[in-house]
Amino acid sequence: MEYTKPLAKLIEYFQKLPSIGPKTAQRLALHILKMDVFDVENFANSMIEAKTTIKYCSNCFNISSTDPCEICSSTSRNREVICVVSEAKDLIAIEKTNEYKGLYHVLGGLISPIDGIGPEDIKVKELLTRVNENDIKEIILALNPSVEGEATALYLSKLLKPFGVKVSRIAYGIPLGSELEYTDELTLIRALETRTEI
């Protein structure tokens, strides 16, 4: 037995979403069938609404309903520091700490030659323009500690040097609450290398 066509199509769409495999896609699609018609319509409309109404800040490329975004247009933020992140979700994670009071720059990805993503595919040029046109004192790189994150950080730091701006990166080390014994070797090596004096 095969799934009927509308269901097969829906499963296919769910499967295209990140981290959704064939089994989960099937479960989600069958759940949609069990939902209230009204709820399904609302869900579908909310998807289209989100896609069509949400804008990006033309300054920092954060998701926003206004342009420039809330953060870029705020007067209480430190306009001399820019924190560079890969995706809007990383920005949200940092904002949740309530510690950082500077501006952001969302690259929209990381340099990854293996996936065919070069510097021209992410917002690198726009970052350089911002540094050039504004009085920026420090660029904080808050990128994932992956191969792509490292490559992008290295690339950006080289490009930013000539502007005479301080380039820093967030510390990679042992997460709070974890145990040394269970920390992987690479993290331990990095934690040792970047030890700080107390």
> H or E segment at 141?
strand 138-141
Is residue 78 near a copy of itself by the rule CB under 8 A? no
Beta strands across the sheet bearing 138-141? 102-106, 78-85, 138-141, 166-169
Is residue 52 near a copy of itself by the rule CB under 8 A? yes
Applying CB under 8 A, the span of 81-89, 119-127, 139-147, 187-195 interacting with a copy of itself comes to 81-89
Residue 59: name the closest of 47, 67, 48 by CA: 67
**93-122 positions binding a copy of itself, by CB under 8 A:** 95
- Shortest spacing between CB 16 and a copy of itself, in angstroms: 8
Is residue 143 near a copy of itself by the rule CB under 8 A? no
Applying CB under 8 A, the residues found at the interface with a copy of itself are 1, 3-7, 9-10, 13, 17-20, 24, 26-33, 35, 37, 40-54, 63-65, 70-71, 87-89, 91-92, 95
